[in-house]
């Protein structure tokens, strides 16, 4: 009797977000998972990555936080052009792409329907989303507000950043989502058509700290 060897699901993760990596490892046990650092994508020799081509799933959950201080051209390449080029190289028509996007508005009280984007982070996430939706059909977009786990907010940043967001969360001024809910959203198969965001960036050529970038986003909501 010939026993067929079960083929492992091949998963590529772009970005080193611990929370999303942990969720995916729990959802896809016994799968082959290859993780790429977002900042190193542009330095990769694609020829050496051919063995990882045509995965079953590509999870995109990254951002180069150091790019807040880059020139606009370098910032755009690091967060949009380089990852897009690599995804095109890796994927096949059958590859399912899951893109973790930031939510359209962080504040609970949304004040403007057509606003400009002053945040480099928000612009990068929306611009990459637009290009992915224009290029790929088998894609799922998940819009995620700040994530909480056991009443702690899971955001990238220093103590001051985390403290301010914790205060905003405690006063119920910003949208949040529990980490357990993320797992449910990822597992739901949806045929929803995702909108291509038409972003209106302003003053993004000016480098700024992550703290200032987040502040600009909050006041422009």
Q: Give the three-state DSSP class for 20.
A: helix
Sign of CA dihedral 215, 213, 124, 180: negative
- pLDDT at residue 191 above 70? no
Q: How far is CA 202 from the centre of its chain?
A: 21
CA–CA distances in Å: residue 91 to residues 97, 153, 187: 8, 33, 20
CATH architecture of the domain 10-220 equals: 3-Layer(aba) Sandwich (3.40)
Q: What is the pLDDT of residue 98?
A: 95
Neighbouring CB atoms inside 10 A of 207's CB total 16
> b/e for 149-179, b at 16 or more Cβ within 10 A?
eeeebbeebeeebeebbbebbeeeebbbeeb
CA neighbor of 89 nearest in space, from 42, 37, 21, 31? 42
pLDDT averaged over every residue in the chain: 87
CA neighbor of 20 nearest in space, from 56, 64, 60, 63? 60
196 beta partners:
none
Tokens of 13: 């993760």
Q: What is the pLDDT of residue 80?
A: 97
**Angle, in degrees to the nearest 10, between helices 159-170 and 210-220:** 20
Instruction: Categorize the per-residue pLDDT at 114 as very low, low, confident or very high, splitting at 50, 70 and 90.
Output: low
Contact, 133 vs 126, CB < 8 A? no
CA–CA distances in Å: residue 191 to residues 10, 51, 126, 137: 22, 30, 20, 11
CA neighbor of 101 nearest in space, from 168, 196, 187, 209? 196
Instruction: Categorize the per-residue pLDDT at 72 as very low, low, confident or very high, splitting at 50, 70 and 90.
Output: very high
Instruction: Categorize the per-residue pLDDT at 198 as very low, low, confident or very high, splitting at 50, 70 and 90.
Output: low
Q: What is the pLDDT of residue 176?
A: 84
Q: Give the pLDDT mean for 137-160.
A: 85
The least confident of 68-72, 139-143, 148-152 is 148-152
Q: What is the pLDDT of residue 149?
A: 82
Task: Give the residue extent of every domain in the chain.
Answer: 10-220
Q: How many degrees, rounded to 5, is the angle at CA 197 between CA 42 and CA 154?
A: 65
- pLDDT at residue 89 above 80? yes
CA neighbor of 139 nearest in space, from 84, 81, 77? 84
Contact, 202 vs 122, CB < 8 A? no
């Amino acid at each position: 009797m010939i026993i067929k060897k079960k083929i492992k699901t091949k998963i590529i993760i772009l970005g080193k977000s611990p929370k999303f990596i942990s969720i995916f490892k729990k959802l896809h046990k016994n799968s082959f998972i290859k993780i790429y650092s977002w900042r190193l994508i542009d330095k990769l020799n694609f020829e050496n990555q051919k063995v990882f081509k045509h995965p079953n799933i590509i999870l995109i959950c990254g951002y180069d936080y150091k790019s807040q201080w880059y020139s606009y051209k370098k910032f755009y390449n690091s967060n949009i052009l380089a990852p897009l080029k690599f995804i095109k190289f890796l994927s096949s028509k059958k590859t399912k792409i899951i893109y973790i996007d930031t939510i359209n508005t962080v504040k609970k009280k949304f004040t403007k329907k057509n606003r400009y984007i002053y945040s480099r982070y928000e612009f990068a996430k929306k611009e990459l989303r637009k290009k992915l939706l224009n290029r790929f059909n088998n894609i799922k977009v998940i819009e995620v507000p700040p994530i909480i786990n056991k009443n702690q907010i899971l955001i990238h940043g220093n103590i001051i950043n985390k403290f301010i967001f914790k205060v905003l969360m405690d006063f119920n001024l910003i949208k949040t989502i529990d980490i357990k809910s993320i797992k449910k959203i990822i597992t739901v198969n949806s045929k929803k058509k995702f909108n291509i965001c038409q972003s209106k960036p302003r003053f993004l050529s000016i480098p700024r700290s992550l703290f200032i970038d987040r502040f600009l986003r909050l006041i422009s909501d």
